[in-house]
A = this chain, B = another copy of it.
Amino acid sequence: MRETEILKIIRTRIAGAGDDAAIFPFRDTNLILTTDMLHRTSDFPSGTTPYTIGWRSVAVSLSDLAAMGARPLGVLLALGDPDLKEEFVRELLNGAIACCEEAGTLLVGGDLDRHQELTLVGMGIGEATQPVLRKGAQLGDLVCVTGELGRTQAALHLFAAGSLKRANALFCFSPRVAWGCKLAGLATSMIDISDGLAHSLYLLARESMVGYAIKESSFPVISDLHEVLAPAEHSEALLFGGEDYELLFTLPERLISTIDKEVCYSVIGKVTEGGVLLDGNELPNRGYEH
């Protein structure tokens, strides 16, 4: 059975399913909770260092918090591994802790277990007085994306080519938590693009019941991608490659001047009445299935 079909079942059973993270009101704010499972075979190419593995294991959950405009409060990490070698665990923790620190939060706990395959499950908890949902985009809003696209695709090509140092550096992406917090109260909808830009647009469209007109020439492309991929291959990588952890958000045009100058973003299109169009043509709803 496809994960997307299973997710449909889960959506009918779990309170709050369907966003990047779960929300529940607590005291005068909302707690935001998220979890992500990563594995050796599907998530870490040969050559990924233990430090990078630790970094990404917490970064993916921090990215989910960022996509809700939440301030992270803490991260847990459960680790299953066949060997549990000391040096490996130390380096993995170094990466996880460094990523938490960069995001202004702490690794507060976890669990440890023997496992046939290296498996990491990160859990992030945050708070947001005004969480940003996938639902909320309004007709005429600008469609924006933070940072640069193509980072993970560039890293994967560098892993395959044996440029491991550069590949690992690119793979240790910065979760956009500070930017996400600054966008809370301004952005009308938000998601991280871990499922690929195209599929993420469709997810936002479904929740907000709108369409999008996107211009490919406006995509902010990471320079590394130019080096590893021929121009003809860029489009596929940027739209369907997946596992980039930038924030895709919508914003009323009148608010553009109020965005904090520290938030790095590009306008890539507009919210329309229906359909997801790239330069006037319907964009296929293909994504990256984890």
Contact = CB atoms under 8 A, between A and B. Distances in A.
Contacts of A74: 22, 24, 31, 33
Interface stretch (A5-13, A141-149, A166-174): A5-13
Given A27-B28, A109-B14, A117 B114 contact: no
A38 to B, nearest CB: 8
Interface string A81-107: 001111001100100010000000011
Interface of A: 1, 3, 5-7, 9-10, 13-17, 21-22, 24, 26-29, 31, 33-37, 39, 41-42, 73-74, 76-80, 83-86, 89-90, 93, 97, 106-117, 119, 121, 123, 125, 127, 290
A83 B89 CA distance: 29
Nearest to A80: B37
Among all A-B residue pairs, the 7 with the closest Cβ atoms? A22-B109, A22-B108, A121-B121, A37-B78, A37-B113, A123-B123, A35-B76
Contacts of A77: 35
Given A115-B39, A116-B116, A119-B115, A109 B76 contact: no
Given A3-B113, A16-B109, 15 more contacts: A6-B84, A10-B112, A13-B107, A14-B108, A21-B109, A22-B76, A33-B109, A33-B125, A35-B121, A35-B123, A37-B79, A37-B113, A39-B115, A111-B121, A113-B290
